[in-house]
Amino acid sequence: MINKKWYKYGLIGLVSVVLSACASSVVDERYQAKGQDSRVKYVVIHYTWEDMPNSLRILTEGEVSAHYLISDDEPARVLQLVDETQRAWHAGLSQWKSDVNLNANSIGIEMVNLGSRQSGQAVPAESSGWQPFTSSQIERLIVLLKDIQARHGIPAENILGHSDIAPQRKVDPGPLFPWQWLAQEGLGRWYDENRVTELMQQYRQTGLPSVLDVQKQLRQIGYMIELTAEMDKQSKNVLRAFQMHYRPSRYDGVLDVETAAILRDLSR
């Protein structure tokens, strides 16, 4: 027969031990270190190359993902697919300045847009036929970027395109993405037009800078490029990515006075 008195006090003791163990496992969050900042350093913008249903399916069921997806509806919607504390698989093999594999320290935003896709076929980057982004998409993107920038302290120059961080294999968000509009909102870099006009005149008189100088200037901005002193394939791809971002009226990867002037201004 169980002694009720011992059973009662034994049960109380057991409960006390359990509660004590639980209490000891609770993290004390009363203190916060001053020396800290956000792990997020970059925002990378993409286009999906698919319509909305396929974009959502691929980004939720496939091996690629992004923190946010902006639809092409009217009005555009912002869908969060990955929590910002988690790593999304959007950047792949990538580099900007000394940072590599930017999945670890970036937020990825996918814009529903077919890019240069026509009739299910990929159109070469030099061809026409790019799909424009809607005003509603860009307006929603601007609001989202300002919120992300404020929360993570991201510098304006660290808002980039996929083609900026992976110029050898990516062209998104393409030449129709309105980088200048974003820059006017404090969300990216842009060049000084007066300074560029002066530099263009200078290059017309003195000739274009050397290939090595161009490569050094591209690297100074942040692009991943080898210093070969030759206008090789990798250099043309990087120059094309630069042109798509800052001089999208022509993005053939060929150096001209306007590209050289913009590059010189931005690499100061």
Active site positions, annotated: 110
Cβ atoms of residues 260 and 199 within 8 Å: yes
Q: Which helix (H) or strand (E) holds 7?
A: helix 4-25
Complete edge-to-edge strand list for the sheet that includes strand 68-70? 78-80, 68-70, 106-111, 42-47, 159-161
Sequence-distant (6+) residues with CB within 8 A of 82 are: 65, 66, 67, 88, 108
Distance between CA atoms of 135 and 138, rounded to whole angstroms?
Answer: 5
Distances (CA, A) of 44 to 41, 66, 219: 10, 10, 18
Provide the 3-class DSSP secondary structure of residue 45: strand
